[in-house]
Amino acid sequence: MEFQATRVNSANATISATIDRETIDKHLNKIAKQLSKTADIPGFRKGKVPVAAVKKQYGQRLVEDAEAEALRELLDLGIKDLNIDNSSIITDPTFSKFDRDGDNIVVDVNVSLRPEIELGDYKSLIPEVKDIDVTDAEVDERANGLATAQAPFVEVDRAVENGDSINLDFEGFVDGVAFDGGKAENYTLKIGSGSFIPGFEEQTIGMTKGEEKDITVTFPEEYQAENLKGKEAVFKIRVNKVEIKEAVELTDELANELVKDKENATVADFKEQVKKEIENEKLTKKYNEEIKPKLMENLVSNYTFDLPASVIEKEIENRLNQKASTMTPEEVKEIQESEEKLKALQEEVRPEAEASVKATFIVDALGKAEGIEVDDQEVQNVIYYEALMGGQDPEATMKKYEEAGYLPLVKMSMLEDKVLSKLLDDKQKAE
């Protein structure tokens, strides 16, 4: 079998060959001979089945297995000829040509390799992390709010206002029929918390103790209960009492209860703790919304290296599928039936796809340089936690992610977060 192996660039290679009938027959005879030792064919003793009988019994299946063996042999020969380490191959090889020419098979096999990235002084690309400003007014508002949270509720004789806590009885109905989980007595609800179905809390404002009312709401389309998604429901409610937080003064005594890891803490100590908490929150927000995207932009724009074509094509396919999910059936059909429109759409998303793939390999290289990794247990823990917070079954959620092929994406996202956070934290400490 003659072949030509070509290194297109550091991330791509092509192996071209014409696999002749002689090569396929060689593999077919080898497979048939091996199978003759274990095949169970009527009329022959096991282990004594003639090769000819095996070929007759299994026919086309043997031919397909032989062709597959010939392709594997071609791949091994091509990789050896190119002196490529198997560990550098990052995806299954793909075919840009697979034609049958009589008894021969003409193929072009594309091999994608891990890009070679010279990171150099990557730390010089990390943007400056400026100090976070926290005003006295922000500290006072947060400190007073935390102090108020410690105060007991007291009942008031007035209509419900936003921010009040109410005790109520309720029962929900869809199409006049009560549904499971839609009834409660002496339930405490903070108005304005957003913990109930959208529109429910707002309709209690203005009600008074002992008042009864019918409230109409619509369950969200993404509601967890399938039988209630998007359904209109009527809740019959009764307000039992209206409560507010008792006024409280922020004293050294109260501050001492609220300050962590310090004895005899004062109001000043408490406010300093609050200030640090606000600074951390602002810094986290700034990291995620401004600094990390800027750092990633710097990295992508400052590194140039070859990208594996098959990975880019896969990313283009993913982005097209995302676009298709927002299109009408008519728009999708129009693109499917027009090769020109499909190609135009592919080229439209190509720059974003290339940037995304490039970023992935840069993060991977930085992770190795910084000694950072994400193991499978960490991925599972994150998915389980998110599932529990969303009221979902953790194991079922994990299985759904696995079947959809999302686990590598989750792992890469976690790795990116850990790598960029470490780089930025180190930069801030150095300053």
CATH class of 3-112: alpha beta
Q: Which of 353, 351, 293 is nearest to 321 (CA)?
A: 353
Please give the pLDDT value at position 351.
Answer: 94
pLDDT in tens, 84-139: 998 899 888 899 999 998 888 999 999 999 998 999 999 999 888 787 899 999 99
Please give the pLDDT value at position 106.
Answer: 93
**pLDDT at residue 336 is higher than 80:** yes
Please give the pLDDT value at position 239.
Answer: 97
pLDDT in tens, 25-40: 899 889 888 888 887 7
Percentage, residues of the chain above pLDDT 90: 56
First to last CA, the chain: 63
Please give the pLDDT value at position 26.
Answer: 92
Q: What is the mean pLDDT of residues 286-298?
A: 90
Residue with tokens 């359904």: 231
- Confirm if 74 and 14 have CB atoms less than 8 A apart: no
Domain ranges of the chain: 3-112, 152-245, 267-430
User: What is the maximal distance between C-alpha atoms in the chain?
Assistant: 98
From CA 77, how far away is CA 60, in angstroms rounded?
Answer: 26
Backbone angles phi, psi at 237, to 5 degrees: -125, 155
Number of H helices, E strands in the chain: 12, 9
Please give the pLDDT value at position 128.
Answer: 83
The CATH fold of domain 267-430: Trigger factor, domain 2 (1.10.3120)
Please give the pLDDT value at position 431.
Answer: 67
- Confirm if 247 and 151 have CB atoms less than 8 A apart: yes
Mean of per-residue pLDDT scores for the chain: 90
* Partners of 214 in beta bridges: 236
pTM of this prediction? 0.67
From CA 352, how far away is CA 331, in angstroms rounded?
Answer: 22
pLDDT in tens, 405-429: 788 888 888 999 999 989 988 887 7
What would the two tokens of residue 239 be? Answer: 């307000």
**pLDDT at residue 261 is higher than 90:** no
Q: What is the mean pLDDT of residues 274-299?
A: 91
Instruction: Report how far Cα 315 is from the mean position of its chain's Cα atoms.
Output: 14
Look at 266 and 225; give whichever has higher pLDDT.
Answer: 266
Q: What is the mean pLDDT of residues 69-84?
A: 93
Name the CATH code of domain 152-245 (choices 3.90.1150.10, 3.30.9.10, 4.10.220.20, 3.10.50.40).
3.10.50.40
